[in-house]
């Protein structure tokens, strides 16, 4: 796999400074948006594993055997793999969904190595002969399978065998939008994890770029030309493309900048909030990569770009959902601040006894891509998956016995006291801002 780009240097203490969070320009009128964004970040970074409750019970000595649980899960996994060859489409979809949940919540590399070829054949048939939801689930399982197997020979072989099929479904305009969306995500994640050489990387980049660039002519107001049903596909393709840019060699970055940086701002006028946000974050990532190549990088149409970003950062149109407006303003203030020459705000992700620091747009894209696929199993994989620990510079997996974990765990009463104190402090801080009698300079 191509080596990560320079600039992602490890932090002191063995922690790598990870993926690009957003910096926030401070504005009096947007204080509530900043608070909401801060709360959202802290909530998403504290999500538990799907099986965390069961794991805690086993540590507490409630009679639940962790090893027995693992064996039960492996037995069920074999049943799910067998279900992929069933004649009933509904049975195959149920097996794929169960596989997706199992692979996201737990690390099962040994078992997957045993049934890798069987599973790969079944997924290939689902992608070729399946329709809509079945293709989408098969692509999602394939992405998770790449994360489980990692960049070894098995992972590379799996990705190389199914890469042409993913590209075919993604490029097929008659395929289901849901199937194309998940194929785009699986193609980006699989290539990031298991691409054997630069040629595979450039091939995937070209395929993804063709998808989100296709509806837009070089001189047309692009964002209004794509059907609403395709907005999710364009967003997934753009995010997968941005993920691969983080490992793209410098020689290719210059050509990509000159080709796409003038065109991406067209997506900022899209009707879809997720597509607008994906475009804004990708623009910030391109500026970050450009400044790594050339410290005094200057964008020719800077004034028009900043004007568009500023409009989105202060958008108050009532026809948009309140939550969408708040999220959009927070993110685009951060994008605008960075594009104008600011720095990235550091995001802290706590899991178990460890901390992951995310402070660049590149690392933000990587972290978000894995979190979108793993969901609430992200913390379990950060703790136990050697691939993710290597990507984020977390070092070897920590081995702690039940007694050590129980000693580090605070009681429910202590949690209650901490939450009460935090609530009181937050209420006081907000009251000062909301008080109309306060002197705001």
Instruction: Tell me the C-alpha distance between 222 and 67, whole Å.
Output: 54
Q: Determine the average pLDDT of the residues in 319-325.
A: 79
What does residue 18 show for φ and ψ, rounded to 5 degrees?
-95, 180
Kindly compute the dihedral angle of the four CA atoms of residues 235, 238, 243, 244, in this order, to the nearest 10 degrees. 150
- Lowest mean pLDDT segment, chosen from 9-23, 253-267, 282-296, 378-392: 9-23
**pLDDT of residue 155 exceeding 90:** no
Residue 346 included in any domain: no
**pLDDT of residue 152 exceeding 90:** no
Structure tokens at 14: 């063995």
> How high is the pLDDT of residue 115?
84
> How high is the pLDDT of residue 307?
93
Residue 406 included in any domain: yes
Query: How many residues can be counted in the chain?
Result: 441
Burial of 428 (0-12, 13-18, 19+ CB in 10 A): exposed
Residue 93 included in any domain: no
Q: Determine the average pLDDT of the residues in 216-226.
A: 50
Domain span at 414:
400-432
| Cα 190 to the center of its chain, rounded Å | 13
Q: What angle do CA 37, 42, 47 make, to 5 degrees?
A: 130
> How high is the pLDDT of residue 420?
84
What does residue 198 show for φ and ψ, rounded to 5 degrees?
-65, -30
Percent of the chain at pLDDT > 90 equals 41
Cβ pair 358, 332 in contact under 8 A: no
- Lowest mean pLDDT segment, chosen from 28-32, 85-89, 258-262, 350-354: 28-32
Residue 408 included in any domain: yes
Question: Which residues does 97 contact at the CB level (< 8 Å), separation at least 6?
Answer: 137
Cβ pair 23, 343 in contact under 8 A: yes
Cβ pair 356, 392 in contact under 8 A: yes
List pLDDT tens digits, range 365-411: 999 999 999 999 999 999 999 999 999 999 888 876 555 556 666 67
Cβ pair 329, 314 in contact under 8 A: yes
List pLDDT tens digits, range 4-51: 444 444 443 344 334 443 333 333 444 444 444 444 343 333 333 333
Residue 277 included in any domain: no
Cβ pair 373, 193 in contact under 8 A: no
Cβ pair 235, 267 in contact under 8 A: no
Which pLDDT band, with edges at 50, 70 and 90, does 65 fall under?
low
Residue 243 included in any domain: no
Q: Is 61 helix (H, G, I), strand (E, B) or coil?
A: coil
Q: Determine the average pLDDT of the residues in 200-210.
A: 93
DSSP 65-76: -HHHHHHHHHHH
Residue 405 included in any domain: yes
Structure tokens at 374: 């793993």
Question: Which residues does 349 contact at the CB level (< 8 Å), separation at least 6?
Answer: 18, 45, 355, 356, 357, 358, 367, 382
| Cα 124 to the center of its chain, rounded Å | 24
- Lowest mean pLDDT segment, chosen from 20-24, 74-78, 188-192, 413-417: 20-24
Q: Is 86 helix (H, G, I), strand (E, B) or coil?
A: coil
Cβ pair 24, 334 in contact under 8 A: yes
Instruction: Tell me the C-alpha distance between 370 and 291, whole Å.
Output: 25
Total number of domains constituting the chain = 1
Q: Determine the average pLDDT of the residues in 158-168.
A: 91
Cβ pair 142, 162 in contact under 8 A: yes
**DSSP alpha helix (H) spans, 271-353:** 273-293, 302-313, 322-339
Name the more confident of 408 and 204: 204
Instruction: Tell me the C-alpha distance between 304 and 261, whole Å.
Output: 13
> How high is the pLDDT of residue 41?
41
Residue 417 included in any domain: yes
Instruction: Check residue 107 and report its DSSP letter.
Output: -
Burial of 96 (0-12, 13-18, 19+ CB in 10 A): buried
- 351 strand-pairing partners: 354
């Amino acid at each position: 796999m191509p080596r990560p780009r320079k600039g992602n240097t490890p932090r002191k203490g063995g922690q790598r400074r990870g993926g690009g969070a957003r910096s926030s320009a401070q504005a009096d009128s947007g204080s509530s948006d900043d608070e909401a964004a801060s709360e959202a970040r802290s909530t998403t970074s504290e999500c538990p594993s799907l099986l965390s409750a069961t794991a805690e019970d086993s540590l507490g000595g409630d009679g639940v055997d962790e090893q027995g649980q693992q064996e039960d899960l492996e037995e069920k996994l074999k049943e799910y793999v067998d279900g992929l060859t069933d004649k009933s489409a509904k049975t195959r979809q149920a097996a794929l969904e169960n596989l997706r949940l199992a692979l996201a919540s737990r690390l099962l590399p040994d078992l997957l190595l045993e049934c890798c070829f069987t599973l790969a054949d079944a997924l290939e048939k689902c992608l070729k002969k399946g329709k809509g939801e079945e293709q989408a689930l098969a692509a999602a399982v394939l992405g998770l399978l790449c994360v489980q197997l990692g960049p070894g020979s098995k992972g590379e072989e799996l990705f190389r065998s199914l890469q042409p099929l993913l590209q075919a479904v993604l490029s097929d305009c008659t395929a289901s939008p849901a199937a194309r969306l998940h194929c785009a995500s699986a193609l980006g994640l699989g290539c990031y994890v298991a691409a054997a050489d630069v040629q595979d990387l450039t091939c995937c980049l070209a395929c993804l770029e063709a998808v989100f660039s296709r509806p837009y002519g070089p001189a047309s107001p692009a964002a209004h030309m794509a059907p609403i049903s395709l907005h999710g596909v364009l967003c997934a393709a753009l995010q997968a493309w941005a993920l691969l840019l983080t490992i793209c060699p410098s020689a290719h970055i210059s050509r990509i900048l000159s080709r796409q940086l003038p065109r991406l701002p067209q997506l900022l006028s899209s009707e879809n909030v997720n597509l607008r946000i994906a475009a804004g974050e990708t623009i910030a990532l391109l500026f970050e990569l450009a400044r790594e190549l050339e410290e005094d990088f200057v964008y020719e149409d800077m004034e028009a770009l900043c004007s568009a970003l500023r409009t989105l950062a202060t958008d108050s149109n009532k026809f948009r959902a309140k939550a969408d407006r708040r999220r959009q303003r927070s993110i685009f203030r951060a994008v605008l601040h960075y594009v104008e020459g600011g720095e990235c705000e550091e995001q802290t992700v706590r899991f178990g006894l460890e901390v992951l620091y995310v402070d660049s747009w590149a690392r933000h894209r990587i972290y978000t891509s894995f979190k979108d696929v793993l969901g609430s199993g992200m913390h379990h994989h950060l703790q136990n998956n050697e691939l993710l620990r290597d990507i984020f510079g977390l070092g070897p997996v920590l081995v702690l016995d039940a007694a050590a974990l129980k000693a580090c765990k605070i009681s429910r009463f202590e949690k209650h006291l901490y939450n009460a104190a935090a609530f009181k402090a937050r209420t006081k801080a907000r009251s000062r801002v909301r008080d109309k009698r306060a002197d705001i300079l």
